[in-house]
Amino acid sequence: MIKIDYTNVMADIIGERDGILREELLSFRHFITETHARIKKEKENKFYFAKLPYQDTEDIKEYGKYVRENFDYFVLVGIGGSSLGTQMLFESLKWINHNQFDFPKFYILDNVDPEKVASVLELIEPEKTIFNVISKSGSTVETIANFSIVLDLLKDKLGDKWKEHIVITTDTEKGFLRKFAKENDIKTFEIPSKVGGRFSVLTPVGLFPASALGIDIDELLEGARKMDLICSVEEYVEHNPAYLLAMIHYLANMRRGKNIAVMMPYSERLSSFVDWWRQLWAESLGKDGLGQTPVKAIGTIDQHSQIQLYREGPKDKIITFIYVENPTRDLKISDNIPEDIGYLKNHTLHEILTKELLGTRAALTKSKVPNLTITLDNINPYNIGMLIYLYEMATGFSGYLYKINPFDQPAVEEGKRFMYALMGREGFEEKLEEFNELNKDKYKLEI
Ligand SMILES: O=P(O)(O)OC[C@H]1O[C@](O)(CO)[C@@H](O)[C@@H]1O
């Protein structure tokens, strides 16, 4: 179950300077009807992610079971959309102590930070490890570089058996990894060509590792199907949660100057959900001088770090709280505590967490900072599936509001081209000249 409470973004609560008028929401009625019809048609193309909840997962589950039964370590090699979704599934749906007490232990090699990569490779035992190399393009430098290190290690330690320790998840046809898998007869999973990296968590990108880790992927997809159903039948903005979230953020941004969207779960298990959403929101909507900067905060930790700014700093933020009604565990404070702190007697930590959220929310509302609250009854695969689909659809719909293409990321490429030039890659010689032009090193302080 998911509830969205958007009371505190509305103008009758926080005033017209910061809040949204109901008339504004409703004035987009024709636009929404038209866009709703376009999205329905686009489900065969750009909105193909909306079809993923209906896929057949037998092969994924079968191989997941095989991995669970035969390996002690699962190492994901991938970055961005090829790792953030799985990290979110792992951290939200597995026990926080999973790697201490359960198998397969799970690690991600995303960055090319040698200290991190070396540390993970020191922890695992190659003969008991499966490496899942994930890349839509099949050519992302971090992934290919880390894969090369892994490959050397496997060949060195396992000889001819190295192939049995690799699963490649990549595009159906294109890219180096697809070619490599074909040439070496390596087990692969396909990322549908119409699904971009940041929309791919419900493809084998997220589903295979999740299944190998024992997460119920049927439940995950059922939650996503439920959200798809709600979003498909309802075009009325106040009944369609994806359109509603998109509209609120769009109006807050474009008409009230809220250039920053903060997501603040009061549950540490949802910390990586925010990381996943940050890529989705930033890479999809940050185009043509438009977009909203996504910021992560964690309740209650960031109450003691960020709330001063959110209340009294620039009025450029809209906050989304995420609240979980029923944590899997709770701890009670006894009545055997000093009288000076007696107000805590017999209260649980979850009660305190809840009241901290209520207090912070009231304080922000008092300062006229627009805020909405998404409540989950539990953190389970079904609800996470709903949330994933909700934000993917809200992001896709936002593309129409901003009149930009939410499914590409052209600006990310330039930095990569300069890096290729610096690495001496053939065909990038001109880029090196351009780099040297830009790299002036003019003002420096050396201490
Ligand atoms: O899955 P790939 O192709 O390795 O890409 C990883 C990430 O890199 C990006 O292209 C940005 O550099 C993201 O859009 C993507 O999720």
Q: 229 Cβ partners below 8 Å, 6+ apart?
A: none
* Shortest-distance atom of ligand 1 to CA 191: 1
Q: Is the CB of 46 under 6 A from ligand 1?
A: no
Q: What is the pLDDT of residues 232-280, one digit of tens each?
A: 987 889 999 999 999 999 999 999 999 999 999 999 999 999 999 999 9
**pLDDT interval class at 411 (50, 70, 90):** very high
Instruction: Select from 409, 413, 417, 419 the residue to mutate for testing ligand 1; criterion: most ligand atoms less than 8 Å from CB.
Output: 409
* Binding site membership of 409 for ligand 1 (Cβ less than 6 Å): yes
**What spacing in Å lies between the alpha carbon of 324 and ligand 1's midpoint?**
31
Give the model's pLDDT for residue 123.
Answer: 97
Share the mean pLDDT of the chain.
97
Q: Which residues have CB under 8 Å from 86's CB, separation 6+?
A: 76, 78, 108, 134, 201, 205, 206, 209, 210
Q: Across residues 79-107, what is the average pLDDT?
A: 96
pLDDT, residue 234, reads 79
* 306 within 8 A of 297, measured Cβ to Cβ: yes
Q: Is 80 in the pocket of ligand 1 (CB under 6 A)?
A: yes
The pLDDT value given to residue 95: 84
Question: Rounded to whole angstroms, how far apart are CA atoms 148 and 136?
Answer: 17
Q: Is the CB of 197 under 6 A from ligand 1?
A: yes
- Per residue in 412-433, pLDDT (tens digit) is 989 989 999 999 999 999 999 9
* Ligand 1 center–CA 226 separation, angstroms: 28
**3-class SS at 327?**
coil
Residue 283 in contact with ligand 1 by CB distance below 6 A: yes
Task: State residue 441's pLDDT score.
Answer: 82
2-28+237-402 and 50-217: same fold?
yes
- Scan for tokens 């043509």, then name that residue: 288
Distance 136 CA to ligand 1 centre (A): 7
ipTM confidence score: 0.98
Q: Which of 49, 77, 82 to mutate to test the pocket of ligand 1 (most atoms within 8 A of CB)?
A: 82
Choose the residue to mutate in 77, 79, 174 for probing ligand 1, maximizing ligand atoms within 8 Å of C-beta. Answer: 79
Catalytic residues: 283, 304, 416
**β pairing state of 371-376 and 2-5:** antiparallel
Q: Is the pLDDT of residue 440 over 90?
A: no
DSSP string, 89-150: HHHHHS-TTHHHHSSSEEEEE-S--HHHHHHHHHHS-GGGEEEEEEESSS--HHHHHHHHHH
Give me the pLDDT at residue 384, please: 98
Separation of CA 138 and ligand 1 centre (Å): 9
Q: Check: CATH 3.40.50.10490 for 2-28+237-402?
A: yes
**In this structure, which residue's CA is closest to atom 12 in ligand 1?**
412
pLDDT at position 59, please? 97
Q: Give burial (CB, 10 Å; 0-12/13-18/19+) of 423.
A: exposed
Establish whether residue 137 lines the binding site of ligand 1, counting it when its CB lies within 6 angstroms of any ligand atom: yes
pLDDT-derived band at 210 (thresholds 50, 70, 90) equals very high
Residue 403: which region, alpha, beta or left (left: phi > 0; alpha: psi -120 to 50)?
left
Angstrom distance (rounded) from CA 65 to CA 77: 20
Q: Where are the domains of the chain?
A: 2-28+237-402, 50-217, 413-447
pLDDT tens digits, residue range 276-316?
Answer: 999 999 999 999 999 999 999 999 999 999 999 999 999 99
The CATH number of the domain covering residues in 50-217: 3.40.50.10490
- The residues pairing with 77 across neighbouring beta strands, listed in sequence order, are 109, 133
At 370, the pLDDT band (50, 70, 90 cuts) reads: very high
Coil, helix or strand for 332?
strand
Which among 172, 412, 418 is the best mutation to test ligand 1's pocket, defined by most ligand atoms within 8 Å of the CB? Answer: 412
Ligand 1 center to 408 CA (angstroms): 10
Q: Is the pLDDT of residue 394 over 90?
A: yes
pLDDT, tens digit, 9 for 90 and up, residues 39-84: 999 999 999 999 999 999 999 999 999 999 999 999 999 999 999 9
pLDDT at 200 over 90: yes
- Model confidence band, residue 96 (pLDDT cutoffs 50, 70, 90): confident
Mean pLDDT along residues 181-205: 97
Residue nearest (by alpha carbon) to ligand 1 atom 8:
80
Judged by average pLDDT, the poorest of 152-156, 158-162, 233-237, 383-387 is 233-237
* Mean pLDDT within 141-160: 98
Q: How far is the CA of 412 from the centre of ligand 1 (A)?
A: 9
Position in ligand 1 atom list of the atom nearest CA 205: 1
Judge whether 318 and 296 are in contact, CB under 8 Å. no
Question: Percent of the chain scored above 90 by pLDDT?
Answer: 95
Residue minimizing CA distance to atom 6 of ligand 1: 80
Higher-pLDDT residue of 199 and 444 is: 199
The number of the ligand 1 atom at minimal distance from the alpha carbon of 198 is: 16
Cα–Cα nearest to 210, from 323, 326, 329, 57: 57
Question: Over 90: is that where the pLDDT of 442 sits?
Answer: no
Reading the block at residue 206, the tokens are: 């997220």
Whole-structure pTM value = 0.97
Span 2-19, pLDDT tens digits = 999 999 999 999 999 999
203 pocket-lining for ligand 1 (C-beta < 6 Å): no
**135 within ligand 1 shell (Cβ under 6 A):** yes
Q: Ligand 1 in contact with 142 (CB < 6 A)?
A: no
pLDDT digits (tens, 9 = 90+) for 124-149: 999 999 999 999 999 999 999 999 99
> Ligand 1: does its nearest atom lie under 6 Å from the Cβ of 269?
no
Across 376-387, average pLDDT: 98
**Distance between Cα 124 and ligand 1 center (Å):** 26
Question: Which residue has its alpha carbon closest to ligand 1 atom 2?
Answer: 135
Report the distance separating Cα 63 and Cα 187, nearest Å: 10
The Cα 229–Cα 53 span in angstroms is 11
